[in-house]
Chains A and B, each alone.
Chain A
Amino acid sequence: MMSGGPAVRVSIESSCERQVQEVSLDGMETYVPPLSMSQNLAKLAQRIDFGQSSDSDEERTDREKRDEWSTREAEEDEGTVKFQPSLWPWDSVRNNLRSALTEMCVLHDVLSVVKEKKYMALDPVSQDPTVAKTPQVFQLISKKRSLATAAQLLLKGAEKLTKSLAENQEQRRQRDFNSELLRLRSQWKLRKVGDKILGDLSYRSAGSLFPHQGTFEVIKNTDIDLDKKVPDDYCPLTVQIPSDLEGSAYIKVSIQKQSPDIGDLGTLNLFRRPPKAKPGSQMWHLRLEAAQNVLLCKEIFAQLSREAVQIKSQIPHIVVKNQIISHPFPGLQLSISLCHSAGEKKSQRASPDRIKPDDHLYVLEHNLHQLIREFHKQTLSSVTMPHPASAPFGHKRLRLAGPMGYDKAEISSWQHIEGLLEKIIKQAKHIFLRSRTARTIDSLASRIEDPQIQAHWSNINDVYESSVKVLITSQGYEQICKSIQLQLNIGVEQIRVVHRDGRVITLSHQEQELQDFLLSQMSQHQVHAVQQLAKVMGWHVLSFSNHVGLGPIESVGNASAITVASPNGEHAISVRNGPESGCKVLVQFPRSQAKEPPKSDVVQDGKWSHLRGSYKEVHWGRMEGRNFVYKMELLMAALTPCS
């Protein structure tokens, strides 16, 4: 009971569980309207997934639902709660469950039937009984017939194939000639004259001016018996080459020291080199190639002999039959011969003239081929054609000679007046000079051990020029004693030597000159080495001369001499080295160490005894040490006091 006072109004309000949808500008809150119970239920039901909820099912269920709903509505229109629209989702659920139940029952029934066999049993479907009974004889006959049909078909097919194969072979033999001819035509020039097929194997189209025709004839090979076995190297066509181009040929270039007997000139050298047969090349190809080579060799030889006769040189060239002999250097003979072995004869292998086969300078033979090809190219080159009518023939640059005012030196440098023979002789001279220089250096290197001589040949050289760098060093002292370095440029007739100190010396082709020069350089090297060694050891050079005028005269070069003094001045070493006289080493001792100290009335002061006095020769041969510089180092070390 409330005691007096007015009644307090108490209002109860549920807590606001609604979400605020929007707060308007004047502070009014708008709440999201809460879901009614049915809406809530519907929302939850829709979250459940009932499996196949395809559109058609849905439609069907919808239709069913509608039908049901309409019928049920007609029956009971009391508004049962069950058929309110909000229960639509549960309908599909119910239908799906019902169908699942049906399926399960069926499956259960089938399984119980299979397992228990109480009310029903499974029975296989029986075969049709009418097919089973056929007598075996009939089977056999029918099988035989079908096999016979199949065999007949196969035999017919095989017969057709063999027939076509035989036809092909026959055709191929006929066609072979054409295909061979096609192959021949792809590599050689052919033309049809009347009913003959002629070809051209000369270098006419490549620019050669040799008058030989070089025609060959292509003949069909019909003497083949088709019944017999076809030989392996059978070729349906053969070529007939001119008789003077048969066999094989090559140009032999050789250098001999002594000239052989005059009676040996003009013998036909019959060394025969087997032709290199490339695999897969036909017989006609080999023969044609050999014939073309013979033609080229003949052209080369004809050109060389023509020039040999025309050109005037100091020693005339001799042309005898198939040999051209010239003398590039005195005592040396260069012979260029055309070796042509005609036909297939192999018996001439054992020729008495079998001198060293490596006499043959293959390089020069190759160069001859290259030179003649260059000559061919020149006649055809675009340098000469096309060509304005007013300009002279020759190099294109010469057309500018007039307007540019070229003088004679420039014009002559543009005109090639050297013939094939001159070029090849120059090349032969160079090769000979180079090999002789190499031999000289090598013989010196093997003979003399003390200053070592090294030759570094340049890899890049010209047909007319090669170069080699010659170093003279002492073993073990290469870094100290490297003052003698020579660059030799070997030309066609001369050797030009460029010394490290700038001198340029031209040596002739004489072997002796080079040898003498190198010997003199080696002797100078020893003295230079002493000078360098003195620098390193701290000794002072008192005098040094590359060419002393004292002492015995050397026949080769000059002797050099040096005098060095020890660091404290007490001792001095004098060295004189000559290419012929060898080395002579003298040591100067201070006066105080002389055996008999000179007594003199004039010189009485003791200090004079510290000066250097008499000389004593060193037995250089008995010194220890493997080379001159080593011995010198030991001597210097011995004469330098340790303190």
Chain B
Amino acid sequence: MGVTCVCQVPVAEGKSVQQTVDMLHKKLEQLGAVKQGNFWVDCETYHATANATGQQSKQLYVMHNSEAPLSCMALFEGGPFLTADANFDVLMVKLKSHFQNAKSHKVESRGARYRYCDFLVKVGTIAMSSSAKGISVEVEYCACVIPGDCLNLIKEFMQSFLGSNAPEMPSNKAEGQLYTPVDCVDPMSQYLELFGKVRKQQVLPSSGVR
């Protein structure tokens, strides 16, 4: 469990998603990272059924991460979150009357997992209803749990293999949060943000082959 940073890498000019991903893999291997299997992160959306007051129904996101294979995370956007056993999915089925699954909004990111000393790099293809929409790169620094101490290090590391695509540091962290230890939901909220961005992008006429 370490500090995680998730970012989106734009597809390279004149290349497909798969080719960009291959390029990243090659760069990582040149760096000296070792491939250690695959990973997947997915997110399902549930709409709360309209309540009596007719307020805008909140959306509940249920996410899974292969890093914590027996867990299931449930988040409200910007709101409270929950970490539960894998049986939570079954519970959601039971709560069909209160939360309805928006099956078309399921987003997932799958790809290879690389390990470079204390860094875990996961390069994944974001797919929505089995069509690739983008590339996500997650870098986890396993040796530290305080974001404030190692975000700069992670940024530097990302710059080494992402070049100019390295993101700015997530500014959504309040000052107080920078120096508190992270938990397993932190990467999930970052992924949620990323998936949200990808979904919004999809609405625009996506230039798939740019």
Interface residues of A (CB under 8 A from B): 390, 398-399, 401-408, 411
Contacts and interface: CB of A to CB of B under 8 A. Distances in A.
B69 interface: yes
A407 B1 contact: yes
B67 A401 contact: no
Chain A CB count within 10 A is highest, among B73, B85, B183, for: B85
A401 B183 CA distance: 14
Interface string B64-77: 00011111110000
B152 interface: no
B169 interface: no
B84 interface: yes
A408 B113 CA distance: 13
Contact of A405 (B87, B88, B184): B184
Contacts of B88: 402
B180 interface: no
Nearest to A406: B68
12 contacts: A390-B87, A401-B70, A401-B71, A402-B70, A402-B83, A402-B85, A403-B85, A404-B83, A405-B183, A405-B184, A407-B1, A411-B69
A448 B45 CA distance: 75
A404 B70 CA distance: 9
B69 A405 contact: no
Chain B CB count within 10 A is highest, among A398, A403, A407, for: A407
Contacts of A411: 69-70
B143 interface: no
In the complex, which range does the number of interface residues on chain B fall in?
A: 10 to 19
Contact of B86 (A402, A404, A407, A408): A402
B118 to A, nearest CB: 13
A399 B72 CA distance: 13
B71 A403 contact: yes
Interface in B54-98: 67-73, 83-88
A406 B83 CA distance: 10
Contacts of A390: 85, 87
B85 A408 contact: no
Contacts of B86: 402
Contact of B84 (A398, A402, A407): A402
Nearest to B184: A405
A401 B86 CA distance: 9
Nearest to B82: A403
B187 to A, nearest CB: 10
A408 B69 contact: yes
A402 B83 CA distance: 7
B57 to A, nearest CB: 26
A407 B87 CA distance: 17
Contact of A402 (B67, B71, B183, B185): B71
Contact of B67 (A398, A399, A407): A407
A402 B1 contact: no
A402 B87 CA distance: 9
A88 B56 CA distance: 130
A405 B73 contact: yes
Contacts of B68: 401, 405-408
A407 B182 CA distance: 14
A398 B71 CA distance: 11
Contacts of B67: 407-408
Nearest to A399: B85
Closest 10 CB pairs of A and B: A402-B85, A405-B184, A401-B70, A405-B68, A402-B71, A402-B70, A405-B71, A407-B67, A405-B83, A407-B68
Nearest to B72: A402
Interface in B79-123: 83-88
A541 to B, nearest CB: 39
A403 B67 CA distance: 14
A402 B198 CA distance: 28
Contacts of B87: 390, 402
A402 B72 CA distance: 7
B153 to A, nearest CB: 20
B85 A406 contact: no
Contacts of A402: 70-72, 83-88
Contacts of B1: 405, 407
A411 B184 CA distance: 14
Given A402-B84, A404-B83, A405-B185, 13 more contacts: A390-B85, A390-B87, A398-B70, A401-B71, A403-B84, A403-B85, A405-B73, A405-B83, A406-B68, A407-B68, A408-B67, A408-B68, A411-B70
A128 B88 CA distance: 122
Contacts of A408: 67-69
Nearest to B87: A390
A605 to B, nearest CB: 62
Contacts of A403: 71, 83-85
